[in-house]
Amino acid sequence: KQEVTQIPAALSVPEGENLVLNCSFTDSAIYNLQWFRQDPGKGLTSLLLIQSSQREQTSGRLNASLDKSSGRSTLYIAASQPGDSATYLCAVNSYNQGGKLIFGQGTELSVKP
């Protein structure tokens, strides 16, 4: 059974710092991995989707990498801003789950001015 873990559960950084959020998964037979952002009281917004054949995806100040063999993905946020404060979730779509996404519990990020 696929399990997705995100560590740390919470992170606080000063504005301007570059930071890395981690996601690990137990079954490397995946179709893809998605990173989402969730603001308090809101739904999830998809940030980046990495297919299993890709190593990384970039969107603006965000860069997500994928290492299937080690069961890891990282979300790199450059030059963090207070507006980046939110919970970041990763979700894995694996063969053995029949196409259903399995979510991690998220990292709550706070960027202090």
Least spacing, CB of residue 71 vs another protein, in Å = 18
Q: Number of C-alpha atoms within 13 angstroms, CB side, residue 47?
A: 26
Least spacing, CB of residue 14 vs another protein, in Å = 28
Measured between alpha carbons, how far apart are the two ends of the chain, in Å?
41
According to DSSP, the residues that pair with 57 across neighbouring strands are 64
State which residue, 4 or 77, has the beta carbon closest to another protein. 4
State which residue, 14 or 41, has the beta carbon closest to another protein. 41
Q: Match 């919970």 to its residue by tokens.
A: 87
Q: For 81, phi and psi rounded to 5 degrees?
A: -130, 155
Q: Match 């893809």 to its residue by tokens.
A: 32
Least spacing, CB of residue 3 vs another protein, in Å = 11
Q: Which two tokens stand for residue 41?
A: 């009281």
State which residue, 75 or 91, has the beta carbon closest to another protein. 91
3-state secondary structure of 77: strand
State which residue, 18 or 59, has the beta carbon closest to another protein. 59
List of residues contacting another protein (CB under 8 A): 31-32, 34, 36, 41-46, 49, 51, 89, 91, 93, 98-101, 103-106
Least spacing, CB of residue 79 vs another protein, in Å = 25
